[in-house]
Amino acid sequence: MDEGDHGNGRHHAVSTGHILAAGAWLDTHFEACRQEYEAMVRSVGIEPGWSVLDAGAGSGSLVPCLADLVGPTGRVVALDIAPENVAIVGQRLATWGLPCPVEPKVGSLTALPFEDGTFDAGWCGNVLQYFSDADLLTVLGELRRVVRAGGLVAVKDVDMQLVRLHPADPFLVAHLSEVSLRNTQLGPESRGSLRGRELRRWLERAGLDDVWQRTTMIERWAPLRPVERQLWSEWLAFLAGLAEERGVPASDLAAWRTLKTPDAPDNILNHPDLYTCEGQVVAVGRVPAASA
């Protein structure tokens, strides 16, 4: 459910046309969810000394965590399709002082620019939602190809069906998800952002072994920290624009319209009983020892 024109032009878009992918937006989302995001990365099984591909690294928020995991004998390649995001990673490397070499690189996930078996692990966070079902298998096949036999492929993505706002109608986001999924004219994000809890089966379909999956609920309560308020203000305003475009039930429109103005007294973000929740899914598989 992550495409459309809202606010000042394309919503946090990069030069490739992908929306909600610009550095400022990615930084905000990461800082608002840092504790949970870093815990998810640390849970996948990356080991010291490994060579790791961060596939779809964005502005590099998780590169320092990956570098800490592999340590001074490891290496990280931070790949993204948007040159401006790769440039941000390059600029930040000068100040991060990371324990291992990090290479920023421009490239596409559907045709990774690496030899077979280059890496010990591939990490791909909040990127698969941008691909259709057919292209998703291509991306997973590429991740499997560039990871050595016995290595790990780890992916993380949102599942918009787990988004909850209280005291708003508990079906507010669900209704938007439903109309988005039924509209066959929309881009792959409408399906992709609802696919998170299916990731285990997709990794199995891609031929990975020992696949496991875990869902993390990122919950926040009033009063929000400034960065949390910024995240939810921008995200809800964006979703409100989609709701008007896509024809949610008329009974939902008034609620969505209040979310376009963060400082409005009736905006849910100003309610003392505010509760927000988003669900992020991690799925991890191992490249078969006899991988062809």
- Domain range summary for the chain, segments of one domain joined by +: 23-163+185-221+279-286
Q: pLDDT tens track of the chain, all 292 residues? A: 433 333 333 567 666 566 666 678 889 999 999 999 999 999 999 999 999 999 999 999 999 999 999 999 999 999 999 999 999 999 999 999 999 999 999 999 999 999 999 999 999 999 999 998 989 999 999 999 999 999 999 999 999 999 999 999 999 999 988 888 777 655 656 678 889 999 999 999 999 999 999 999 999 999 999 999 999 999 998 888 888 888 888 889 989 988 888 888 889 999 999 999 999 999 999 999 964 4
In DSSP terms, 276 is beta-bridged to 165, 220
pLDDT on residue 6: 38
Question: What CA–CA distance (Å, rounded) separates 56 from 63?
Answer: 11
Residues written for the chain:
292
DSSP count for the chain of H helices, then E strands: 10, 7
State the amino acid at position 228 in one-letter form: E
In order of 56, 200, 210, 266, 282, the CA distances from 213 in angstroms are 20, 6, 10, 38, 6
Give the pLDDT confidence score for residue 291 in this predicted structure: 43
Q: If you classify domain 23-163+185-221+279-286 with CATH, what class do you get?
A: alpha beta
Burial class (CB in 10 A: 0-12, 13-18, 19+), 254: exposed
Which pLDDT score, from 0 to 100, does residue 275 have?
Answer: 97
Residue 273 · residue 228 · CB < 8 Å: no
Pick left, alpha or beta for residue 17 (phi over 0 → left; psi -120 to 50 → alpha; otherwise beta): left
**pTM over 0.85, yes/no:** yes
